[in-house]
Structures are given as C-alpha cells and as structure tokens.
Amino acid sequence: MTSRDGAVQTRYRVLYGDVDAMNVMYYANYLRLFERGRAELMRDRGLAYKIMEAQGFLMPATEAHVHYLKSARYDDLLLVETRAEQVKRASIKFCYEVFRSEDGEAEKLADGWTLHACVTPEGKVVRLPENVLKVLKGE
C-alpha cells in the first residue's frame, strides 16, 4: 500500500521465532523488516527484484543503519514504511520507519536506512538502467 508521501507500507505480524528469551524482537530482525519493505516497494512500482535479476543486475547492501527506539514484541502488528531516497546513477539509499500499528494507533519503534550498489552478477558496479531510475524516482 502506498501512502500519501510516496512511501510503501508493509504490514508484518511478529512471530514467536522473531523474538528472544525476553519476548523482544531480536535486533537483527529489523534488517529483515527493511528487506521486506524494500522488496514490496519495488514490487509496488512494478519492478520486483526477480525482474531486475533477470535483466542482469543485482543490488547488494553496502551499508546499513538501524536506530532502535522501542521494542517490538511477539504478536505485535508492525507497519514498515519504505522510501527510495538518494537515487543515484549506480546506488540507491532506502529509508525505513517501523511502527507498532494496533487499533489505529501507530507508535514508532525504529528507523534506519540501507545503501545499495547496482552490480552485475560478477560484482562489477554498473549504472542503473534508465527504466529503473525512473521507477525509483517515482517518475
């Protein structure tokens, strides 16, 4: 679902396997939420990762940052908002916000970003194709 500001919203229910012994979502699982949000943003814009790979390019993460504000817990309904920002010739920065979204209330739990390079299957950095640049810039 796309919000008014162009972010794509993805819902996720925290599973028992996502939490640690303290019933708190394991910190690295926020990066999995980011991945889910990023994949849904691409799919929402008509360019699933599967399509990009078939066109001969990949987008590995080169940097990642998570700012934790509050803990997600087992069975929380989360909302991940994802935006494509700083779309450059051969890289893209995606920004994320994670909210607990129960009963119409939204409480921000975390935010962060990932930076991705555009590369060939052999790992050579290449420019993003024009059609991909347009899609990511929302044109």
Alpha-carbon span 41 to 134, nearest angstrom: 14
Torsion of CA 28, 116, 135, 54, to 10 degrees: -90
Q: Spot the catalytic one: 20, 44, 75, 76.
A: 20
Sign of the Cα pseudo-torsion (84, 86, 88, 94, in order): negative
Residue 20 designated active-site:
yes
Residues annotated as catalytic (active site), given as ranges: 20
